[in-house]
Structure 1
C-alpha cells in the first residue's frame, strides 16, 4: 500500500495485500477465491478496508461493476501535498492527462544553457502519464486500448520522429551466452544537435523497459555536437 501505511504500521518490507474473487455467472455474484487460506484472505481484506477508500467488502466489490468482462481499474487517492500546498499529481492543467506537479517547466541544459522544449516525447514522458503510456508498448494489438481520464491514449512510435534513419544490427557481447543480435533504428530528432534528446528505447516482449537509455558511444556523439536515439 502507500508510504503512509508502511510508516504507520511499522512495516520493514513493502506489503501488498490482495484479495481474489471468482464471478459466478449463474448467480451474477462474486465468491471469495482463496489462494492460501481464509485467515490470510480475511487479514488482507481487513487491511484494505482500513486503508483504502472502501470501508467494506461490498463497497470494494462494487468497483467491478463498470469494468466489464475484462480490464484493469486504477484508483489513486490520499495524495500528498508538496511544500507549496499543491498535490503531488496535477489533475487540473490538462483534463486528459495526469501530470507530476511542477515538472513540466522548461529547463536548461548543462551545455550552452539552451532551453529544452517540452514538446519532445523524451521530455514529456518524465512528467506526463499520457506521454509515458503512449510509448509503453512497441506494437499495440487492434483489440487493446489504454484509456486515461476517459480518452484513448494514442500509441507513439519514436522511430517516426527520426530524421536520416538508419537500421543497424546490434550484437551485444555477453560472456557465456550465445551471440545475440537485434536490428535497431537510429537517427536524429528535429533540431539536433541543439536539442538535448538522445538515447535508446529498450523493449522486452513488446513492453518498454527503459526509455532513452544513453550508451557510451552516444557520449562520443554528444561531444562531437550531434545526438541520436532509437
Structure 2
C-alpha cells in the first residue's frame, strides 16, 4: 500500500469483501431499508429520502438519506467501519444488531458513499469509496473519518493528527461529489437540529445494459426500479419504493418522506 495512507483508518476487511458483502442484498429495496432501519434505531422522528441530480455521478443522480436521530460521536463513527461492531447490540428493541447494514446496504446501492453525522457539538464524516480504491489500486480498505468542531475547525490533538486529517480531506475532496471545503461543509448544514445523520450514496449501480438501476423519471414523488423482477406483477412493492416501505413499516415509528412527499 502507498505509504502516504499509512496512518489512516482501515476497515477490518479486505477490499474484495466490499462487493461480496453488498451481494447479500439481491433486492435493491432491501438494501435501502437497511439505511432506514438505522434512522429508526437512532430514534429519528423523520427521514427524508431524495435523489438530487449530479452531473458527475453514474446515472446522473445520488441517493440521499437525511434523519434527525441521535447521530454518532467520533468513536461510534469509526466503529461503523468495523464489521460486526454495533453500539446497539445490547438493546433488543433495535433492528441493527450486527453493525453491517450500513456497509452492505450502501455498497449495494452504489459504488461509493459518504456519511455526515452530528452529535454533542462534534461533526464527523465517514467516507467509503470503491472508486478511490480502484484508482489507487489498494487492497486494504482505507476509510477517512475526519471530525470537526461546530465552527468547522479540525478536531485534532497534535501535528500528526493534523497530517492525518489533511490526508483524509484530500481523498474526500478528490473522490466525493464535493470538490471544495465549502461544498463539503454545506452537507453538515443539512442536519438542522442538534443531532442527526446524512448519508449520500453515489455512483449508483447500473444494469447490464448500462442504464441506471433506479427510475427517477416516471414518478417524481417516488423511486422505482428500472427493471423490476416481475414487471407484470400487480404487487406495487416489487417496483415502487413508496409501496415497499409502506409494507415493511406498517407500524412506523417515524415519518418517511420520499422526494418531499410523506
TM-score bracket, shorter-length normalisation: 0.3 to 0.5
Structure label with greater radius of gyration: 1
TM-score, with structure 2 as normaliser: 0.41
TM-score, with structure 1 as normaliser: 0.46
For CA contacts below 8 A with separation 6 or more, give which structure has more relative contact order.
Answer: 2
Larger helix percent: 2
